[in-house]
């Protein structure tokens, strides 16, 4: 059924054509007023349209006696009309919302947030700005250089990358035959059903020092400890220090730890045995399959986040305890799309 009525009125006016502009030039030089010129055109035009056009095409001309006079020239009016038309386009949605622009620049430039984390964080925290934009629009603005203090160089991911196809290379680690396999991990740990199951890895730099990174599977909460070197002794000492910090709560907070088969993690017995209650078990260790980093996916994502602050080749020896704690706090308060832009700390609470 064809719609008979609508609320949209068809525009009855059209812009001046180049031919009309030359008619205006001739008639204005003959001394006609804008009102008379408007009535002389076909179709007839409004007086104000002619006045605006004459103002647009007004040009200073020099007479033979070097005196000057202003006259309307059609080609000048046509040129300026084209220049203004070329500049037309949809206005920036962010407009004059300087408060929002400053907030975005601070989060991406200073606090190393991704555009999606910025937009999602605004919605989750219910922050109020004059304008609302989506993640795609923000990416477009950054790509076009709209912002003064941030560019594509400030983004953690510069382009879309094809997802890697994962496959198991080998089931048994030849250097860790006695290690407990990830295949023995209980469903509550495998399916992220309860808090207390962690993944563990080391982030290295150019020096001897490294970072021990522990990621809780359910909440993605982080523990980062600076080690003087990437050795079994340093890793065990770090776990011992965590046990001293949490005391009797350690067993309920660190129910299991999943790691790769790196040499620094191979002393399973000492990692599992309590340093406070000799001979008792404090946690359960599991080892991923060789060349299967995807089995510790949360840990790998955490490592990439850390690289925003500690790029490859950085000297971790130069990081202070305060620096490491600041990175840990940033990660635990970072809005995660996975959790509706809530942080790991919010999920763990």
Domains (range + CATH), the chain:
18-86 (no CATH), 98-154 (no CATH), 182-348 (3.30.420.10)
pLDDT higher than threshold 60 for residue 10: no
Dist. CA 235–CA 213, nearest whole Å:
11
pLDDT higher than threshold 60 for residue 161: no
Q: Please provide the DSSP assignment of 32-65 as one string.
A: --HHHHHHHSSS---HHHHHHHHHHTEEEEE-TT
Report the candidate in 221, 202, 180, 187 with the shortest Cα–Cα distance to residue 334: 221
345 to 21, 226, 339, 340: CA distances (angstroms): 68, 21, 11, 13
pLDDT of residue 89: 59
Mean pLDDT rounded to a whole number for the chain: 88
Task: Tell me if 238 sits within 8 A of 227, measured CB to CB.
Answer: yes
Residues 6+ apart with CB under 8 A from 168: 289, 292
pLDDT higher than threshold 50 for residue 82: yes
Dist. CA 346–CA 135, nearest whole Å:
23
18 to 15, 65, 283: CA distances (angstroms): 10, 31, 84
Dist. CA 193–CA 195, nearest whole Å:
7
Dist. CA 28–CA 42, nearest whole Å:
16
% of residues, the chain, pLDDT over 90: 67
Question: If you average pLDDT over residues 281-289, what whole number do you get?
Answer: 95
Look at residue 221 and give its three-state secondary structure. coil
pLDDT of residue 8: 46
Chain mean position to CA 261: 33
Dist. CA 125–CA 341, nearest whole Å:
9
pLDDT of residue 204: 95
């Amino acid at each position: 059924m064809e719609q008979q009525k609508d609320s949209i009125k068809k525009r009855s006016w059209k812009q001046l054509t180049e031919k009309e502009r030359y008619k205006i030039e001739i008639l204005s030089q003959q001394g006609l007023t804008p009102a008379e010129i408007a009535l002389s055109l076909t179709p007839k035009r409004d007086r104000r349209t002619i006045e605006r056009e004459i103002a647009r095409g007004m040009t200073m001309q020099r007479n033979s006696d070097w005196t000057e006079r202003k006259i309307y020239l059609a080609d000048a009016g046509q040129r300026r009309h084209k220049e203004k038309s070329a500049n037309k386009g949809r206005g920036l949605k962010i407009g004059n919302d300087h408060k929002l622009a400053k907030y975005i620049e601070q989060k991406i430039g200073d606090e190393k947030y991704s555009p999606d984390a910025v937009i999602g964080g605004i919605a989750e925290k219910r922050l109020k700005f004059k304008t609302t934009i989506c993640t795609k629009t923000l990416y477009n603005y950054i790509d076009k250089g709209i912002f003064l203090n941030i560019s594509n160089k400030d983004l953690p991911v510069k382009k879309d990358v094809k997802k890697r196809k994962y496959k198991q290379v080998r089931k048994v680690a030849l250097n860790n035959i006695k290690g407990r396999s990830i295949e023995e991990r209980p469903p509550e740990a495998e399916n992220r059903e309860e808090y207390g199951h962690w993944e563990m890895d080391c982030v290295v730099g150019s020096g001897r020092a490294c970072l021990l990174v522990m990621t809780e599977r359910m909440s993605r909460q982080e523990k980062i400890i600076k080690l003087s070197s990437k050795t079994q002794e340093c890793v065990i000492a770090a776990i011992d220090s965590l046990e001293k910090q949490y005391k009797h709560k350690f067993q309920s907070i660190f129910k299991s730890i999943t790691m790769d088969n790196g040499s620094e993690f191979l002393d399973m017995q000492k990692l599992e045995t309590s340093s406070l209650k000799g001979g008792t078990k404090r946690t359960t260790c599991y080892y991923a399959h060789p060349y299967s980093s995807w089995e510790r996916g949360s840990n790998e994502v955490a490592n990439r986040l850390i690289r925003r602050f500690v790029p490859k080749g950085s000297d971790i020896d130069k990081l202070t305890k305060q620096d490491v704690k600041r990175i840990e706090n940033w990660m635990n308060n970072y809005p995660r799309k996975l959790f509706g832009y809530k942080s790991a700390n919010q999920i763990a609470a």
